[in-house]
């Protein structure tokens, strides 16, 4: 069952979960070409659509353009309508409105579309181009019809207000702020981002919604020594961190049994239940895409949401 929600104060309706595609074509941070390839991504794309997850988040820098190219290619092979969110990176040599126009043109070409549903600013770096110039250039792209909605990513509460002010002057709403948010990373509830988004009518897109896999339940204290890569540096993945996490995993598992869902699906559903939040879990395979989509279309009891809230309140700072 597909559940739709409106992005901010726009007319854009999207599924309540978005598929993240950072790993699509990226061999720098991910193991594209080694552990998975193009065929796996195509299957993930098709499976996501079949399961009602027809909203995909990418960026011009993901795989240095490959992620957008793959989505464009897969769209031509699968006629089902989808919506795409992509991102503009404020690189140092981009210092005027023409640079924004050229970046949108390049993304449209890689995706093979005439219009992008949601175009986001990847980070609040405005040393070379002021926020005002950037937002006005994006508003002009909305007027041209080349993008339908404008978002930002990793913006603080104050930066969101500033961006929203420049856009409002052009009659365009700020639709989203894409930030890190999960049961194990609830900082946005403490630093004003969550409340400001609500005040402004801005939707939160939650990246890393499964906390790098911690909320899937596959990491256990007894296996802490086998953690590899960047996770080794994160104290949440240490034996002590994983021991602290166990009550959360047990609760996710217990709730999941009742609804025939996995701990990951329950964790994603908790985010959706916040009302103004769309989680963006990544998917490199068909089974991951199907698993992600299983977070949509059902609701847990208020007291179950409260239990998870109480168990993870310490992750607000």
Active-site amino acid positions: 62
pLDDT at 97 over 80: yes
111 pLDDT band, cuts 50/70/90, is very high
2 pLDDT band, cuts 50/70/90, is low
Q: What is the pLDDT of residue 234?
A: 83
CA nearest neighbour of 67 among 127, 109, 101, 22? 22
Number of Cβ within a 10 Å radius of residue 101 = 16
127 pLDDT band, cuts 50/70/90, is confident
Integer Cα distance of 110 and 24 in angstroms? 14
Integer Cα distance of 147 and 114 in angstroms? 9
Q: What is the pLDDT of residue 223?
A: 80
Average pLDDT, the chain: 94
Check residues 189 and 129 and name the one with the higher pLDDT. Answer: 189
- Cα 181 vs. chain centroid, distance in angstroms? 9
Q: Which residues contact 149 (CB under 8 A, 6 or more apart)?
A: 7, 8, 10, 12, 117, 118, 119, 142, 173, 175, 176
Q: Which of 16-30, 218-232, 276-290 has the lowest mean pLDDT?
A: 218-232
Query: What does each C-alpha distance from 175 to 52, 62, 147 come to in angstroms?
Result: 22, 22, 12
Report pLDDT digits (tens) over 35-51.
999 999 999 999 999 99
pLDDT at 1 over 70: no
Q: Which of 46-60, 211-225, 254-268 has the lowest mean pLDDT?
A: 211-225
Domains and CATH numbers, the chain: 4-213+262-300 (3.20.20.100)
Q: Which residues contact 26 (CB under 8 A, 6 or more apart)?
A: 32, 62, 63, 66, 67
CA nearest neighbour of 107 among 163, 57, 158? 57
Q: What tokens were used for 303?
A: 């007291």
Burial zone of 102 (CB within 10 Å; 0-12 exposed, 13-18 middle, 19+ buried): exposed
Percent of the chain with pLDDT over 90: 84
* Average confidence (pLDDT) over 118-137: 93
Report pLDDT digits (tens) over 21-30.
999 999 888 8
* Average confidence (pLDDT) over 186-204: 97
Number of Cβ within a 10 Å radius of residue 313 = 12
pLDDT at 317 over 90: no
Q: What tokens were used for 33?
A: 């070409």
CA nearest neighbour of 26 among 59, 62, 57? 62
């Amino acid at each position: 069952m597909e559940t739709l929600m409106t992005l901010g104060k726009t007319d854009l309706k999207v599924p309540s979960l978005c598929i993240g595609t950072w790993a699509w074509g990226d061999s720098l941070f991910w193991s594209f070409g080694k552990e998975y390839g193009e065929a796996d991504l195509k299957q993930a794309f098709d499976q996501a659509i079949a399961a009602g997850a027809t909203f995909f988040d990418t960026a011009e820098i993901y795989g240095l353009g490959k992620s957008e190219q793959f989505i464009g290619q897969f769209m031509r092979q699968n006629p089902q309508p989808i919506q795409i969110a992509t991102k503009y990176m404020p690189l140092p040599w981009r210092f005027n409105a023409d640079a924004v126009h050229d970046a949108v043109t390049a993304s449209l070409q890689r995706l093979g579309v005439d219009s992008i549903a949601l175009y986001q600013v990847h980070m609040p770096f405005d040393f070379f181009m002021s926020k005002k110039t950037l937002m006005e250039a994006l508003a002009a792209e909305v007027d041209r019809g080349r993008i339908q909605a404008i978002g930002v990513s990793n913006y603080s509460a104050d930066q969101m207000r500033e961006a929203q002010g420049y856009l409002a002057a052009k009659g365009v709403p700020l639709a989203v702020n894409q930030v890190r948010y999960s049961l194990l990373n609830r900082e946005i509830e403490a630093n004003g981002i969550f409340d400001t988004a609500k005040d402004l009518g801005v939707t939160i897109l939650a990246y890393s919604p499964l906390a790098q896999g911690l909320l899937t339940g596959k990491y256990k204290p007894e296996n802490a020594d086998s953690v590899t890569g960047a996770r080794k540096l994160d104290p949440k993945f240490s034996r002590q961190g994983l021991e602290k996490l166990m009550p959360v995993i047990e609760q996710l598992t217990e709730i999941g049994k009742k609804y025939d869902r996995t701990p990951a699906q329950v964790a994603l559903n908790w985010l959706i239940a916040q009302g103004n939040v769309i989680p963006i879990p990544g998917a490199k395979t068909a089974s991951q895409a199907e698993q992600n989509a299983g977070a949509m279309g059902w609701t847990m009891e208020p007291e179950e949401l409260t239990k998870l809230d109480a168990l993870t309140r310490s992750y607000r700072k």
